[in-house]
Every structure is written in C-alpha cells, then in structure tokens.
A and B are shown apart, each in its own frame.
Chain A
Amino acid sequence: MRSRADRSLMAGGRFEKTSGAIRRADQGSEKTAALLGILTCSLQPLAYCVARSERSGSLCLQKMKKIFVLVTALFLGSVFAGEAPLQVEQAWIMAVPPGSEETAIFMTLINSGKKPVRIVSGSLAEADRVTPMLTTKEAGRMGMKDMPFLEVAAGGRAVLRPGGDHLMVYGLKKTLKPGSEISLTLQLQSGAPMVLSVPVSRSAPK
C-alpha cells in the first residue's frame, strides 16, 4: 500500500491529498486517543491516592485532584486553542559520506489550516541552500526536478521520504555526524519562517 502511494507520488509529482472529511475524522480520533491517554495518566495517581487516603488522610487526594484538573485543562487548551497551521513530524536529514556536498531532508508535513501552505526554501548553517525537489520516474529512470515550492494542501499532508520528494541540501560545508542535530529554517511563501531541530541519521528513524 505504501509503495503504491509512493508510485503515484512519483508519477504525478503531486503530494498526497486527503479529503477534508477524512482528515477531520483522523484528527478527531487522534485527539480522542490523546485525551484518553491523558485521562488515564492522571486518573491512575488519583485512584492510587484515593486508595491510600484511607491511611494518610485526604491531603494527597486534594493535591492529585488539582493536578488532574490542571493537566486536563492544559491538554484541552493545547488541543483546541493553539493549532499551528503547519505541523512537522519525523524530520531528519540524511548522513552522507565525507566529501559529499549534497544530501536531503525528509519529513511529514501536516497542514491543519484552511489554506494551502507553500514552502519555498530552507536554510541551515552547514550548507549553502535548501530547495524543494521532486523525484521523477521516467522510462524506468529515477531522477530529480527542482520545484519553485512545495505545497501542502489545506487539510492535507505531504510525506517526504527517501526515494520520493524531499528538501535538497546543496553545498554541504561539513560532514554531518549521525546522532547530532542541525537547525533548519523553513521559509514559507507567507507567514513567519519555521525553525526546526532536525536529527542527522543514516536512515529513517524508526
């Protein structure tokens, strides 16, 4: 299934688009799952304290109730209030051998906003420039094509992975060590640049 998606990605040169409805459902279940997780985490000490309070009085219980309310409020606040339009997940930059001046950055971009988001370029201190790159497949040959921007559809996601589209890094000035991190700034067509900490890895982090 994954490889089919890869192929269509390469053939069409477009990023995967999920329909709004599906995405909302996805997001809803993610939120519910996270909410349940938080509830469990905070309920457990609460239940423990309730059981313990038979011996130690209700001080602990009151504390825990406070913590519970606080954690839940914080969580709900973060989920429903401050949504960034573009989220980046699992970003990594490929470690390449000494002497290599090119490498690639991969990530999953999730646009939870109502407008498409375009990444026009990137920058990192260790290289000359970073540009969006399309992976092509023509007559059995795989190749690359510069793109003026990388668009993540409204409510959609773009998956950048080895063998597919990526952010190409030119003019690497030093060998990046696996396990270290670089600071990547993504320039969007509109809006503030995003600064990400990106781990250096030989292959996709598990």
Chain B
Amino acid sequence: MTTPVHSVKGWARKLAFPAFLVVLIVLGIAGSLLVTRDPQTHVHGWVDRLLWQRVPAPDFTLTDHNGKSVSLSQFRGKAVLFSFGFTHCPNICPATLSHFVGIREALPEGLRDQVQFLFISVDPERDTPERLKEYVPFFQEDFLGLTGTDAAIRDVVYRYKASFLHGKPRGGDPKDYFVDHTADVFLVGPDGQWELAYPFEELPKTQMIADDIVRLLPEQP
C-alpha cells in the first residue's frame, strides 16, 4: 500500500519541475512570436499622400441623398473626407465606406461632428438620390451620398484630378455595367483648403488618418 504511493510521489517530484519548465519555455516562445508579429512602432507625421501643396479645394454643388442641393463650401468649419464611387460596386466602395466608419470611430468622440464624410457617385444614371439614401446611411447615418447631372459629376471629377470610366454593358443588359474610378480619398480642411489625397491602399490606417484630420481641426479649448 505504501510503496506505490511512495513511488508515485517520487515520480511526481521528478516530473513536476521539468513539466513546469516546458510550460515556461512554451509560453516564452508564444510570447516572443506574438511580439515579433506585431511590432509596436510609432510613425510621426502624415499618412502617405498624393498632394504636396495645399490648394483651395475646388467647390462643387451636387444633390444629396435627401434630394437637397449641397455645396462643398457649406461645410466650411468642418473637415470633409470624400470618395468617388457607385452603389453597384461590390468591393472598393463598400470597403472605402467601411474604412470611413473606422476613421470616424478613431476620431475623439467630441470631434466626430466636425468631420463630414461624403460619397460622390460617378454613376448618376443608376445612383438616384433615393438609391443613395438606401446605400450610404447603411454604413453610417450622417454620411452623405451625392449625385448630380452627368456634367456636374464630370466637373467635380476633373477638378479633383480624378477619373472614371463606364464599362461596356455586360450580357446585353444596358443597366449592367462596371464603373472604373479613382479610389483615392480626398481631405479638405475646415478652412476650405484641399489638404491631402489618400491612396486607397492607405485607408486601413484609420487611426493615423483620424490623427491627420484632428490636426487640421481648430484646437479644442
């Protein structure tokens, strides 16, 4: 009776410490893997941009998703972040708008109403104000979808050095076509200066873009 218990005890003592060591080593390896996979670095300055000089943002007047006429200059005092797109876009446009949501959430709560997000349609034929109203607020209620006449849209696109191209109708349906378009995102400061254009690829850096925007806003008391 005593002997087996005794031998288990001895075995236990021998095994417990190596087992403990193995656990420590494994935790160490796991920890170092985590650290090397997610390096904490801090970047100073602005996110990659296409503009090197701030210029007055070309004004435009379009129709918002409530059917109201809206001009960029109306948002003076707020920072404006906008992109071009179309609602039949399955990939780039929803991705952009969900990055907008991320950027908005990365802003300090008290500053969120000082930033206006706009989505300008380059497909006014299919993107009526009604369609935009269905689409844009789905991502965030105070995002605004804009559309207009072909000429008005072309004018905005030209002024912001962007471009778009309507593809050929697919499979015989004249309403079924893709639109290739500039996916960069434009940032206009509260003083109406066009500050930056972010390449689409940089949009996942939502916190850094939010920091850029905060830097443009007037200092908080």
Does A50 lie within 8 Å of B91, measured CB to CB?
A: no
**Which chain A residues border B138 with CB–CB below 8 Å?**
96-98
What chain B residues lie within 8 Å of A110 (beta carbons)? none
What secondary structure prevails in chain B residues at the interface with A?
helix
The DSSP consensus for interface residues of chain A is mixed
Minimum CB distance partner of A101 in chain B: B88
- Indicate if the CB atoms of B29 and A33 lie closer than 8 Å: yes
B23 within 8 A of A: yes
**CA A162 – CA B183 in complex, angstroms?**
12
Please tell me if the beta carbons of A57 and B5 are within 8 angstroms of each other in the complex: yes
- Verify B131–A162 contact, CB threshold 8 A: no
Residues of A within 8 A of B11 (CB): 50
Q: How far is the CA of A136 from the CA of B26 in the complex (A)?
A: 44
Interchain CB contact (< 8 A) of A139 among B12, B26, B163, B167: B163
Task: Give the residue name and chain of the A residue nearest to B96 (CB).
Answer: A163
CA–CA, A144 to B178, complex, Å?
7
Q: Is A3 an interface residue (CB 8 A)?
A: yes
Q: Measured between alpha carbons, how far is A163 from B202 in the docked complex, in Å?
A: 11
Residue pair B92, A142 in contact (C-beta under 8 Å) = yes
A118 to chain B, nearest CB (A): 21
Does B180 lie within 8 Å of A136, measured CB to CB?
yes
Cα A104 to Cα B162 in complex, Å, equals 25
> What's the interface size class on B, roughly?
35 or more
Q: What CA separation (Å) do A13 and B138 show in the bound complex? A: 31
Q: Considering the chains assembled together, what is the distance between the CA atoms of A2 and B131 in angstroms? A: 34
Residues of B within 8 A of A203 (CB): 95, 98, 101-102
Complexed CA–CA distance, A138 and B90 (Å): 18
Q: Are A162 and B91 in contact (CB under 8 A)?
A: yes
- B207 at interface, CB cutoff 8 A: no
> Which residues from chain B contact A176 at a C-beta distance below 8 Å?
none
Q: How distant is B157 from chain A, measured CB to nearest CB, in Å? A: 11
Select the stretch in A40-48, A74-82, A147-155, A191-199 that faces chain B.
A40-48
Contact B163 A43 (CB under 8 A): no
Evaluate whether A47 and B19 lie within 8 angstroms (CB atoms) in the complex, with A96-B94, A97-B135, A141-B163 already known. Answer: yes
Query: Is the CB–CB distance between A33 and B163 below 8 Å?
Result: no
Contact B181 A6 (CB under 8 A): no
Q: Are B8 and A53 in contact, with the CB atoms below 8 A?
A: yes
1/0 contact trace for A46-83 toward B, CB 8 Å?
11001101100110010000000000000000000000
Which residues of B in the span 122-137 have a Cβ within 8 Å of any Cβ on A? 131, 134-136
Cross-chain contact A141 with B202 (CB below 8 angstroms): no
Q: Which residues between 18 and 40 of chain B lie within 8 Å of chain A, taking CB atoms? A: 19-20, 22-23, 26-27, 29-30, 33
- Cα distance, A138 to B202, chains bound together (Å): 18
Name B25's closest neighbour in chain A (CB-CB): A36
Chain A stretch 1-36: residues in CB contact (< 8 A) with chain B: 2-3, 6-7, 33, 36
Interface contacts beyond A97-B87, A163-B200: sample of 10 additional A-B pairs, CB < 8 Å, sorted by A: A33-B30, A96-B138, A97-B136, A101-B88, A103-B94, A141-B181, A143-B165, A143-B181, A162-B94, A202-B98
Name B's A-contacting residues (CB within 8 A). 4-5, 8-9, 11-12, 15-16, 19-20, 22-23, 26-27, 29-30, 33, 87-92, 94-95, 98, 101-102, 131, 134-136, 138-139, 162-165, 167, 178-184, 200-204
